[in-house]
Structure 1
Amino acid sequence: MNKYAVQLAFAYMGVIIGGGFASGQEILQFFTGYGMASIAGTLLAGLLFAFLGMQIARISTNLQAQSHKDVLHLLFGHRAGAIMDILLTFFLFGVGVAMLAASGALFKQQFGFSPVIGSVFMTVLIVLTLCLNVKRIIHLVSLATPLLMALVLVIATYSLYTSSADIEQLLTLSQDQHTVAPHWALGAILYASFNIAVGFPMLAVIAGRSRDIKSTSRGGALGGVGLGLLILLLNVSLFFNLNQLQGAELPTLMLASRLSPVVGILMTVSIACMIYSTAVGMFFAFSARFSRPETGRFRLMSLSCCSIGLILSFVGFTTLVGSVYPLLGYLGLILIGAVFVNWFRDRCKPASAEKHVA
C-alpha cells in the first residue's frame, strides 16, 4: 500500500473524528448505551465506513472529481443530484460553523477564555491552511489522526486495567444511558450515515486528484477500518468506566484526565486537532464546490465563508449541533442508499465496463 493511500485514509478519518469522536458523547449515545450489543454496533459501523469509503474513493477517482458535485450527479442523476448538492453544500457549511463554535466552547471550558477567542483562533488557522496547496492540506488534516489513535489506545488499556465495576453493574448503568434509537443496529447505521455525509465531500475531492483507483480504494477502505477500530476502543473504554462517567459532558477528556494531567492536556490538544481537521475538511469542500483549489478565487472564497461562519458560530455549539446534525443524518441515509445501488449496478456489469485509470 503506497503513501498516498495511507494519507488518504488518515485524511478520511481526520475529517470524520472531529464531528463524531471529539467529546465521547456521540459514542455513548450511539453505542455504549446498548451494553454488550454495542460491540456488534461498532463492528457494523466500521464495516459501513470501510465499504462506503472504498466505493466513494473509487467513484471519485474514476470521475476525476473536482468536487462532490460530480459524484452526486453520477449517483442521483442531474436533477436529483443538483438538489442533493445544494442540501449537502448547505450542511457542509453548517458543520464547519459548528466546529468553530466547538472550538470556542473548548477554550472556555478548558482555559476559561471567552468563546470568541477560541473561535477566532480556529478561524485564522483554517484560513491560513486553506491557502496552502492540496497536498499540504491533506497532510495537515491527516496529522491529528495518529495522535488520537495513540491516545485512545492508551486510554482504553488504562481504563480496562483500572476498571472497578463488575459487568452486572455496568450493564445496569448502560440501560440508563440515553440512546438515539431503539435498537443497536439502527444506532450504528445512523452514526455512519451522519459521519459519511461529513466525510464524503472531502474524500471525493482527495480521491478525485489521483488516477490510481486501486490506491484510493484501498485508502478509503483502510480509513473505514481505522474508524471502526477507534469506535470499538473508545466504546469499550467508556463502557468499563460508566460508573465514573455519570453526568460527564466530555467523557473522553475525563478518562484522559483521570489517567494523568499530562494525558488530559494531550487529549485537549487532540480534541482541538480533531475540530481543526473537520473544520478544514468542511470549508475546503464547501469552497471547492464554487472554485478550483489553489487559485486566488478559492482563497477569497475560503476567507469569505470562514468569516461568515465565525459570525454565525456565536449562536452556540449546542444549538448548532441540535439543528444541523440530525438533518445531516437523514441526508446521509439517502447517500448511503445511492452508493449501495451504484455498487449493485456495477456488480451486474461486465468486468470490463469499469476501466482502471493507470
Structure 2
Amino acid sequence: MGIIVGAGFASGQEVMQYFVAFGVDGIWGVVLSAVVMTIMALIILQLGSYFNAGEHGEVFRRVSHPIFSKILDIGVVITLFATGFVMFAGAGSNLNQQWGLPLWIGAVIMVVLVLAAGMLDVDKVTTVIGAITPFIIIFITAASIYTLVEGNFSPVEQLDSAALAVGTTLPHWAIAAINYVGFNMMVAVSMAVVIGGSMFNPRVAGRGGLLGGVILGFLIIISALTLFATVETVGHDDMPMLTIINNLSPIAGQVMAVVIYGMIFNTALGMFYALGRRLTATKPERFRPVYVVTVLVGFVLSFLGFKNLVGWVYPILGYIGLLLIAVMMVAWFRGRVRIYKESERRMRIVDLLQIGHDGALNEAERKALQKDIQDSNLNEEQIRAATSK
C-alpha cells in the first residue's frame, strides 16, 4: 500500500484524472479498479514468495514467454524510473501549494531523504515504507467521511457537468479503470515481488496482499466519492485532497501536507530502491553507486511538472500494465495448486526445522524433512537462508 499510495493518490490527482473526470460513470470505474487491484495484490505477493524472488525479473522469466518477459522487464524498469521522478515533482508541488515554497526545495529535500534511506537493506526499507502508510489511511478516511456526511453539495447533475470539465487524457471510464490497475501494478510489482520474496510462506504473503488490496480499494472508492462531491471547488488544483482538508481545518491541512510528503517519500524510495536492485541484479555490489546516479537523473527530469506528468506518463505506463495483469493472472491460475501444496510443504519444513533446533529429530521426522526439501521448488540453500531470518 505504501508503494502505491504515493503523490498521485494521496494528493487526489490520480483519482481525479482516472475516475472523477468521467463524472458519474467514473464511480463504476472505481469499483472495477478496486476489485481487480485486490486480486492482483494477492497474486503478485504470492508469486514473489513462491519463487523466493529477489527482483521482478526472476518471476517474469519463470511465468511467461521470453519475449513477454523481456517486454515486461523493460516496461517495469521504465515505470520505476518514471514514477520515481514524478514523485520528486509531487514533492515540489506539495510544499509549493501548502507553504508557497519554490518547487525545487521540496524536490531537493526528497532527493536527500531517498538517497539516505536507500542505503538501508530491504527489511529496513519495507519497515520505513510501512510505518508511514497508516497516517494517510487515517487522514483520507477521516476527511472523506466528514466531508461526505457534513457537506452541502450541489445536485448530482451539476457535479457531473463540473467533473466532465476537469478533462483527462483517457478515452473511456472502463479503459481508465483497467489502465489504473495496470499502471499501479507496474509501479508496485517490482518492490512487491521483493517484499513477497522475503516471505517464506506463499499463503501468508497472499493474505497480506489480499488485505492490502481490500484497504486500498476502500481508500480509492471513498476518495473518488469525496472528490466528486467537491469537484466544483477542487477540480483544477494540483493537490485536490490537500485542498479539501485545508478547507476543513487549516491545522489538519498542515499535518496532511506533511503526511502526503511522507507518502511521496514512500513511493519514491520504493521505486528507486527496486530499480537499483534490478539494474544491479548480476552485480549487487554496485547497487549504491547505481542507486545514487538514477536518483539524481530522476531529480533533473522532475521539473517537467507534476500535473502534466500524471496526466501523460501514468496512462502510457498503464497500457503496458495490461500485459502484466494478463501474464500474472494466467501464471497464478495455472500454478495455484502447486502454490498451495508448496505453502503446506514450507509450513511443515519450518515446523520440523524448529523441532530440530529445539531438540533432536527422530528418524521419521528427519526423512520427512529431507523429502519436503527435495520436493520444494527451492533448493536447500535457499530454504536454509529463508528460514534462518
Q: Same fold (TM over 0.5)?
A: yes
| AA partner of residue 92 (structure 1) | L
Match of 1:103 in 2: 91
Distance in 2, Cα, partners of 1:211 & 1:241: 45
Rg (Cα) greater in structure: 2
Aligned mate of 1:115, from 80, 103, 115 = 103
Indicate if the aligned counterparts of 1:49 and 1:221 stay in contact, CA closer than 8 A: no
Distance 2:5 2:339 in 1: 37
Which piece of structure 1 moves more, 21-30 or 284-293?
Answer: 284-293
The structural deviation recorded for 1:73 is 1.1
Alpha carbons 2:203, 2:343 under 8 Å: kept: no
Unmatched 5+ residue regions in structure 1? Answer: 1-12
Q: Which amino acid in 2 is paired with 1:282?
A: M
The answer for the alignment partner of 2:373 in structure 1 is none
Question: Which amino acid in structure 2 is aligned with residue 91 of structure 1?
Answer: T
Secondary structure of 2:154's partner?
coil
Q: Residues 132, 235 of structure 1: CA spacing in aligned structure 2 closer, same or farther, 3 A cutoff?
A: same
Contact 2:8 2:90 in 1 (8 A): no
Decide whether the 8 Å contact of 1:213 with 1:356 is kept in 2: no
Equivalent residue for 2:48, pick from 36, 42, 60:
60
Does the Cα contact within 8 Å between 1:130 and 1:137 map onto a contact in 2? yes
The Cα shift of 1:352 comes to 4.8
How many Å separate the matches in 1 of 2:49 and 2:326?
20
Q: Is the 8 A contact 2:4 2:267 kept in 1?
A: yes
Aligned length: 345
Structure 1 window deviating more from structure 2 (21-30 vs 268-277): it is 21-30
Name the amino acid aligned to 2:113.
L
SS of residue paired to 2:238:
coil
- Higher RCO (Cα < 8 Å, 6 or more apart): 1
1:148 to 132, 136, 154: 136
Structure 1 residue identity aligned to 2:204: S
C-alpha displacement of 1:26: 1.8
Pairing of 1:253-264 with structure 2 (within 5 A): 253-264=242-253
Q: Which residue of 2 aligns with 1:301?
A: 290
Give the direction of change, closer, same or farther, for the CA distance of 1:173–1:302 in structure 2 (3 Å limit). same
Q: Could you say which residue in structure 2 is the equivalent of 1:70?
A: 58
Per the TM alignment, residue 322 of structure 1 is displaced from its structure 2 partner at its CA by: 5.0
Verify the 8 A CA contact 2:60 2:69 in the aligned structure 1. Answer: yes
Instruction: Tell me how far 1:253 sits from its aligned partner.
Output: 1.1
Q: Is the 8 A contact 1:163 1:241 kept in 2?
A: no
1:48–1:192 CA contact under 8 A, matched in 2: yes
Q: What is the Cα deviation at residue 319 of structure 1?
A: 5.0
CA, structure 1 residues 291+221, in 2 after alignment: closer, same or farther (shift >3 Å)? same
* Cα deviations by residue, 1:287-324 (Å, 9 ceiling, x for unpaired): 1113369x753223222221222233234434544553
Q: What residue is the counterpart of 2:68 in the other structure?
A: 80
2:210 and 2:259 map into 1 onto residues whose CA distance is: 24
Measured in 2, the distance between the counterparts of 1:14 and 1:122 equals: 16
- For 1:1-358, list aligned pairs within 5 A: 13-160=1-148, 161-291=150-280, 297-318=286-307, 320-322=309-311, 324-346=313-335, 352=341, 356-358=345-347
Could you say if the C-alpha distance between residues 185 and 326 of structure 1 is closer, same or farther in structure 2, counting changes exceeding 3 Å? closer
The SS at the match of 1:201 is helix
- Structure 2: gaps of 5 or more residues: 348-389
Separation (CA, whole Å) in 1 of partners of 2:316 and 2:345: 36
Alignment-mate amino acid for residue 22 of structure 1: A
Alpha-carbon RMSD across the aligned residues, in angstroms, is 2.5
Shift of 1:44: 1.5
Q: Percent of aligned pairs with the same residue?
A: 35
Q: Secondary structure at the match of 2:11?
A: coil
Q: 1:304 to 1:25 in 2, by over 3 A?
A: closer
Q: Once the two structures are superposed, what CA deviation does each residue of 1:245-297 show, in whole Å capped at 9, x if it has no partner?
A: 3433321111001000011112211221111111001001101113369x753
Letter in 2 for 1:147: F
